[in-house]
Amino acid sequence: MPAALATVVAAALAVTTITTAAASTAAPSPAAACTGYVGLTFDDGPSGNTTKLLDALRRSGLRATMFNTGQSAAANPSLVRAQVAAGMWVANHSYTHPRLAQLSQAQIDSEISRTQQAIAGAGGGTPKLFRPPYGETNATVRSVAARYGLTEILWQADSQDWNGASTDAIVQSAARLTNGQIILMHDGPANTLAAIPRIAQNLASRGLCAGTISPQTGRAVAP
């Protein structure tokens, strides 16, 4: 082989080797890093804390389902729009946060239907998911929710942030989540806000990503 040709071939091989090595060390895509999905949920918004919550979730690369009360959505439509703009999913958490299982069917219907209207009117779309306040439900509550095309969603992990849980305890609750499971958190507590970066780190270390909640199965799935 002539010397000039040999030099060209060697150079080409070197470029190929470098390109192959670079490709093999490239970071995996986010989708490839997700071996499962969990549902992060925040009840009782929107509120004066919602903006900080959305900022914390965005900075940590997390998405969540926001179970809004109708009265808060109606009073704070710009915050509902901010939830959607931040990539969150908006869901129904009743209008005034009563104990629905203690109400009449007509009262339950009013709580659910007015919330559907308030969220849609605020720019949050038409919810497909519903969470009864306090997790208290019965056949009548589920029947009324179903009439509005809503799937009732509870949880597998309770962060206890509503009960004054520490940031460490909230992080530990999220650390117990497995594929498809859902954690209950709330819009307001400062300890919940502080826990978000650590929750994100723990999920990533276990190959779990924050997903949406399927109306068909009630489980967390890929967005």
For 91, the token pair is: 């869901």
pLDDT tens track for 177-220: 999 999 999 999 999 999 999 999 999 999 999 999 999 999 99
Query: What residues are labeled active site?
Result: 43, 186
Give the C-alpha separation, 143 to 84, whole Å: 28
**Average pLDDT for the chain:** 90
| 98 vs 33, more confident | 98
Which is it for strands 220-221 and 212-213: parallel, antiparallel or unpaired?
A: antiparallel
Closest to 65 in 3D by CA, of 43, 47, 36:
43
The reported pLDDT for the residue numbered 32 is 54
The reported pLDDT for the residue numbered 192 is 98
Give the C-alpha separation, 94 to 108, whole Å: 8
Question: Has residue 16 got a pLDDT over 70?
Answer: no
Question: Has residue 150 got a pLDDT over 70?
Answer: yes
The reported pLDDT for the residue numbered 170 is 98
Question: Has residue 14 got a pLDDT over 80?
Answer: no
The reported pLDDT for the residue numbered 25 is 35
Question: Has residue 143 got a pLDDT over 70?
Answer: yes
| pTM of the predicted structure, to 2 decimals | 0.86
CB atoms within 10 A of CB 48: 11
Beta strands in the chain (DSSP E): 36-45, 65-68, 89-92, 129-130, 151-152, 157-158, 182-186, 208-210, 212-213, 220-221
The reported pLDDT for the residue numbered 33 is 85
Helices (H) and strands (E) in the chain, counts: 9, 10
Percentage of residues in the chain having pLDDT higher than 90: 85
Beta strands in 108-219 (DSSP E): 129-130, 151-152, 157-158, 182-186, 208-210, 212-213
pLDDT tens track for 53-105: 999 999 999 999 999 999 999 999 999 999 999 999 999 999 999 999 999 99
For 131, the token pair is: 């969470």
What CA–CA distances, in Å, run from 38 to 34, 176, 179? 10, 11, 6
Give the C-alpha separation, 205 to 33, whole Å: 10
Beta strands in 15-95 (DSSP E): 36-45, 65-68, 89-92
For 183, the token pair is: 């954690």
